[in-house]
Structures are given as structure tokens and as C-alpha cells.
Chains A and B, each alone.
Chain A
């Protein structure tokens, strides 16, 4: 098996969000974007320039932005509210829960600056809890695409295909852009990116690329690793997860998120119920991040291909006993 995916060049997933949002604005006249002062840094700038009348600036007032989005959705608009994930998911959680989710409204929430790779801004701005909090809300769909190309497609799916509340996260740091332009992003379906029989890495976001690199390196050591991309954390693709457990008997999850409550938690919930197998979870070890270069931080907190390789070997040893 050769390397099926190559990096076409590093790009922030935020760029994919910006491009997808613009494409959706062209496609549907009811798409509106709400801005909370940080328009360019969350990737709403392309839309705002093209459609100034459909871009509503509401200032640094996220709770109100979310409620206004709910009101627009009640009148048939398709509101997109994007801000940093820490604010989008956490500062407005009650507005999301009651005004958006309990009313089951099609509000698209963009969570920018996802994960540790925000870097130098430090812990306050690194969204590492958003998947857990969004995932627990009834009616919510949670998307976490793996590169800029996929983000561009996923945000359009969030806007045009999903009918209820949807949260989509994306990042600021340039990361490998490797998925195909013509791929299908089906909400709720995992993507098998690399076949393998000895164990499976289930990853989301940028950690998917790290998982692929780990799989390619392990392949050289005759270890056959399956890689699955979960771009939809909720509703999660139970079928692909259970099949991986049944066929490879060992699972690693990897995410740029707290190790509790996110993708790893979601996968563990499925396997605990359907098909328990030895499992390891890679993520932020229940602590706050800090300032530093993205790559330095990812290394410090073990969010790298190297950590995956090491964990894979430990897990295989356990499995062989």
C-alpha cells in the first residue's frame, strides 16, 4: 500500500471556511452572516465584502449574536454566526441550548481558532472543549473537518444540507491540505482514508493528517493501520467504528481537543455499547494550553504522529498478550 494522500501545501482551515461561506452566499440568497467584530480572523471577510447587505455586524456581544441568529432562522433566513470557538460554543452555550437547539433552528455556528494550534494567544483563545459541549446538546450536528479543502465542502453541507442547529470548527494555523477537491462529505458518515487490519486510528481535524503519517511510517514496519476520518462528530458514524473494532480489534482516537468528552468520548460510547475492544485516547490531557508556536505546542502536549506511533505499538503489545 502506497501513500494515497500528499500535502498540496499548508493552509489554514479557516480559508476553506471563508471560501465555502462565499460559495454558499452565491448559491442561496437567504444565507446571512453575523459578525462579532473579528470578521477577517474568523473567515467571514470574503462573504462580508461580496454581500455587505447580508452581513450584520453586532459587535462584541456573542450572546445577542446567537439570539439574533435564532430570530433570523425563525423567519426563514439561514444565519451563520462565526466567532472564536471558545466564545461561539462556550460563552453562548445557554443561548445555543434554549434559543437555538430547543427551538430546533437551522443556525450555523462557526467555531474558529479551534484547538491548540492557535498558538501564541494562549489558553484563553484555544478552543479545546467545544466539541464536548456542542456534542451533548439535543438536535445539534457537530462537524470537524480535517483540512481546508474539506472545510470548504463541509461548511456548504452545514448550510445547505443540515436542517437543524450545526456547529463547525476550524483552525487558524496553516496545516496540510490533502483531501480531494471532488470528495463527497456526507454528514454523519466517516471516511476510510487508509486500509489496515492490525489497528485503527480514528481521528478528526488536523490530527487526521498526523494519523495518516503515522500509518505510513508503521507500514514500513509491517504494521497495518486503518485510518478513519470522522468529520461529523455528531451524529457519529457507528457503523464504520464498529466495523473497525470488529476487524482490527484495537482503536486509537486522536483529536485536537480535551481528551474527555470529544471524539474519543463519542467513539468510546459507541464501542462500550456495541463492541468493546482495547482503546487509547489521544488528546489534550485535561489541562489548559499555553503560548507557543503551534508545532511546539502540539509536540509538548503529545498531539503528533510520533505519539500515535508510540501509542499504537503499546496497544498492539497489549493486544498480542
Chain B
């Protein structure tokens, strides 16, 4: 049985807030990790795991499930938090993030046995190729499940992403949907200053992809974009999701310095307070 989809927008909002709260807490305990993108993508993960993906937390390897490939392995805290919230493992285990002996590795590592992980990843530029391979196998077998691949915008500077993009359209993989986290920042600063990606939409189009743009922090916009992407025939679709790094905590929103940092105890309580204020309003 697939996990029942959540349609209530208020409930989805509450889930996103819970996930953000949990991400802040587990990163604070861990003492290191990537807070910015984990907060920025909380809405995307909520929509995927609660409203879009066909999956079953009670049977993580069910063969007809959709496959979610997280190419940006550094967003692991958000993936773990979402998987726990949706029922893959007890939420208590989130306290072990990045600790010795934990199943919650700094970047996803399947050999540690955490249920729900589709790929051990963390070296940027590899997830889309793996997604192409999985989608190709599904297509050859005549399966109906889809592959969803989450990419970072800074990651698009890796040449191998474009090798994969070229092959996905060449192979007409319409069961492959890529999502680019277009938060405009990477570790050193703004993407456009470090290595410009624009015109990004045109680049994907030129590589033979259907392109959908959306507000990556708006649930309804995300969900309708996925429904649009699912209808595309004969080519893969990329959803360029414009997000804000650090979304939900106004004092760090859009600040690239929070890409790879965990909050201190003090910052953590401040962030949690801000999170409650923004979601209450």
C-alpha cells in the first residue's frame, strides 16, 4: 500500500514547519551539517513525500515505488527528517545524526542500513547519471514508476550533469523528473558571481528537456508543477524551483554563509523562535 497522499494545504504547511524544527534541532545536536539548503528545501521534500511520490514506509523496497535520488547528498539532514516524519524510522533516531555508529551519515550511505535511501551520494554531479540509468531500466522493463532527482544549482557547474542531461533527452526518458534547487547561492557566494548559470531555463531547453519554473517554497505551485511534469511525453522534465536558502528563519534567509553550517545552542533557540513566529503569522 502506498502512503496516502495529503491534500490538505494546512496540514502540509504544518508538516513543513515540523520538519524545519526537527532539522534545526538535529543539526544543533550534530554540531555540523548543512542548514541553509535543508531549510530551503523543506517545502519540496514535504510535497514529494506527502503528496507526490508513490512510496511505502512499511515496505521501502516495494518494486513499484517511485525512486527519489538526492544528488546533493549534503541535504541529508532534511532527507532523514522527512523520512522519519513519514514513518521510515523513529524520529528519536534523528538525534544520532553524524555521530559515530549512526545510520544517519553526514552524507547518505546505504551500507549503514537506513531504510528509504535510494543512493549513497555526496560527490556532486553524479545523481542525474544514476537517475538516467534507473529510468532507462524502468523504461526497458515497461514499468510505470518515476525517478525524481534533486539537484543543487551550484552542482550544475559540474560538467557531468550536462552529460547526463544530454543522455536523458536522447533516450527520451519521460519518467525522469529533475528538480533544480535554484536558491542562487553556493558555498562561496552567489552562483552568478562564482560561475554564472543563467540563462538556465534556455540551457535545459537546449538540452532537450521540458522546463517548468516554480516557487519552490510554495506547496501549491510545487504540486501543480509536478502534475504538469508527470504529463510530459517523450522527454524528461526539469522543474527549476526557486527557493530561499534558510527559508523559515528570516534572519538567515538567503545568506550563503549558512550553506554548510550548524547553529550553536544559542542560535538554535533563536532560529526556532523565529520559525514559530513566521509560521504563526
The answer to whether the Cβ of B217 comes within 8 Å of any Cβ in the partner chain is no
Are A71 and B111 also in contact (CB < 8 A) when A61-B163, A64-B129, A102-B120 are?
no
Measured CA separation A191–B266 after assembly (Å): 65
Cross-chain contact B130 with A76 (CB below 8 angstroms)? no
Cross-chain contact B110 with A95 (CB below 8 angstroms)? no
**Nearest chain A CB to B104's CB is how many angstroms away?**
16
Chain A binding site: helix, strand, loop or mixed by DSSP? helix
**Nearest chain B CB to A78's CB is how many angstroms away?**
11
Please name the residue on chain B nearest to A34 by beta carbon.
B133
On chain A, the residues within 8 Å of B31 by CB distance are none
**Nearest chain B CB to A267's CB is how many angstroms away?**
29
The answer to whether the Cβ of A306 comes within 8 Å of any Cβ in the partner chain is no
Cross-chain contact A71 with B167 (CB below 8 angstroms)? no
The answer to whether the Cβ of B157 comes within 8 Å of any Cβ in the partner chain is no
The answer to whether the Cβ of B160 comes within 8 Å of any Cβ in the partner chain is yes
Contact with B130, one of A59, A70, A77, A97 (Cβ below 8 angstroms): A70
Measured CA separation A163–B119 after assembly (Å): 18
On chain B, the residues within 8 Å of A64 by CB distance are 129, 132, 160, 163-164, 166-167
Are A95 and B167 also in contact (CB < 8 A) when A67-B160, A71-B134 are?
no
Tell me the residues in window 112-150 of chain B with beta carbons closer than 8 Å to chain A beta carbons: 118-123, 125-138, 140-141
Cross-chain contact A103 with B119 (CB below 8 angstroms)? yes
Cross-chain contact B121 with A98 (CB below 8 angstroms)? yes
Cross-chain contact B129 with A103 (CB below 8 angstroms)? no
**Nearest chain B CB to A56's CB is how many angstroms away?**
7
Are A68 and B120 also in contact (CB < 8 A) when A63-B129, A63-B160, A102-B111 are?
no
**Nearest chain A CB to B127's CB is how many angstroms away?**
8
Chain B binding site: helix, strand, loop or mixed by DSSP? helix
Measured CA separation A150–B233 after assembly (Å): 46
Cross-chain contact A75 with B138 (CB below 8 angstroms)? yes
Tell me the residues in window 24-82 of chain A with beta carbons closer than 8 Å to chain B beta carbons: 53, 56, 58-59, 61, 63-64, 66-77, 79
Cross-chain contact B163 with A63 (CB below 8 angstroms)? yes
Contact with B137, one of A59, A72, A99 (Cβ below 8 angstroms): A72
**Nearest chain B CB to A76's CB is how many angstroms away?**
7
On chain B, the residues within 8 Å of A296 by CB distance are none
Measured CA separation A75–B122 after assembly (Å): 20
Cross-chain contact A66 with B129 (CB below 8 angstroms)? yes
Please name the residue on chain B nearest to A56 by beta carbon.
B136
Cross-chain contact B111 with A68 (CB below 8 angstroms)? no
The answer to whether the Cβ of A104 comes within 8 Å of any Cβ in the partner chain is yes
The answer to whether the Cβ of B109 comes within 8 Å of any Cβ in the partner chain is yes
Measured CA separation A53–B137 after assembly (Å): 12
**Nearest chain A CB to B214's CB is how many angstroms away?**
26
The answer to whether the Cβ of A10 comes within 8 Å of any Cβ in the partner chain is no
Cross-chain contact A68 with B121 (CB below 8 angstroms)? no
Measured CA separation A72–B141 after assembly (Å): 11
Cross-chain contact A67 with B132 (CB below 8 angstroms)? yes
**Nearest chain A CB to B242's CB is how many angstroms away?**
27
**Nearest chain A CB to B106's CB is how many angstroms away?**
13
Cross-chain contact A71 with B160 (CB below 8 angstroms)? no
On chain B, the residues within 8 Å of A67 by CB distance are 126-130, 132-133, 160, 164
- Bitwise, A75-92 to B at CB < 8 A (1) or not (0) is 111010000000000000
Measured CA separation A77–B110 after assembly (Å): 19
Cross-chain contact B126 with A74 (CB below 8 angstroms)? no
The chain B residues found within 8 Å of chain A, CB to CB, are: 109-111, 118-123, 125-138, 140-141, 159-160, 163-164, 166-167, 171
Beyond A79-B133, A99-B130, list 9 extra A-B contacts (CB 8 Å). Answer: A63-B163, A64-B166, A67-B130, A68-B133, A70-B130, A71-B136, A74-B133, A94-B126, A98-B123
Some 9 contacts from A to B, beta carbons below 8 A apart, are A64-B166, A64-B167, A66-B129, A68-B132, A68-B164, A70-B133, A73-B133, A75-B134, A99-B130
